[in-house]
Amino acid sequence: MLSGCSSGSAARGDVATGRPASAGTGPCLPVSYALPSTNPNEYRIQPGDQLAISFYLSPEFDDQVSVGPDGMITLKLVGQLKAGGLTPPQLSREIDNAYSTELRAPDAVVEVKNMPARQVYVEGQVNHPGAFPLLGGMTALQAIAEAGGFTDDATDSSVVLIRRDACGNAQGERLDLASAVDHPGHGEDAMLMPYDVLVVPRSRIANVDLFVKQYIQGLLPVPPYLAVPIP
C-alpha cells in the first residue's frame, strides 16, 4: 500500500447509504466518483505510469522512472519518493523538497509519459461483456453501449460501478441508469476512469458492500501491476 495515504470518503457515495461500499481495509487516498479532469496537471499518478523528470538548471539529474506497484519512484541521490496519488505539480514540489539539500534551485518538472493502456470492464447482463478502451469522456451508459447494450434481463436501475482507490482497494457505488436511458444527460450516468468495472445485475442490488466483496473474489479484472486486496 502507498505510504502516507490518508483516509476519507468519496465525493459521491452509494445511492442508498450515502457512502461508497469498500472491499478493502486500511488508510488510503479516497475514491472519487466525480468527473475526472482533462487537465494533465490534475491527473493522479498511478502505478505503472512512466514519468519524465527534468531539472532546468541541472539537466544532469534528468531522469525517466516508472511508478512501482507501491506507488513509489526511485531518484538519483535522494532514493525513494511517493508518487502514486499525486498530481505532476504536487510530485514536482516533493522532488524540489527532496533535492533542496543537493541543488540550490531544483525546479523539477514532472511529465507523465507512456501511460499503460486504459480500459474499462463491463460485465453481467449486457450483450457482449468484456474489456473496452476508455475513450475520452466515456460514461457508464456509453461503455454499456460498447458492450452491446442491456439484455432483456438487465436491471438498469441497479448497475454497480466498482473503482479502486490509490492503494488498490475496491469500492462500489450503485448507479440508477434507468432515468439516464430515458433522459440522456440526466440521472446518475457517471464518467468513467481507468480500470473501472461496471456490473449489470439481473435484480436490484440491496447491499452494495456485500456484492463488491463477493464479486472481487475472483472476477474483478485488474492490471498486472496492481493487486486488489481480498477481504
Angle at 53 between CA 47 and CA 57, to 5 degrees: 165
Enter the C-alpha cell of residue 162: 466498482
Task: Report whether pLDDT(107) > 60.
Answer: yes
Q: What is the pLDDT of residues 40-69, one digit of tens each?
A: 677 788 877 889 999 989 999 999 998 887
Burial class for 175, CB neighbours closer than 10 Å (0-12, 13-18, 19+): buried
The residue type of 69 is P
pLDDT for 206 beyond 90: no
Q: Residue 115 has what pLDDT?
A: 63
How far is 194 from 118, CA to CA, in rounded Å?
Answer: 5
pLDDT at residue number 60: 92
Percent of the chain with pLDDT over 70: 71
Strands 119-124 and 197-200: parallel
Domains of the chain: 47-113 (3.30.1950.10), 117-215 (3.10.560.10)
Model pTM score: 0.54
Give pLDDT tens digits for 147-196: 999 999 998 888 999 887 766 677 888 888 888 877 666 667 888 888 88
Q: Please write the tens of the pLDDT for every residue from 114-149.
A: 666 678 899 989 999 998 988 877 899 999 999 999
Confidence of residue 84 (pLDDT cuts 50, 70, 90): confident
| pLDDT on residue 122 | 93
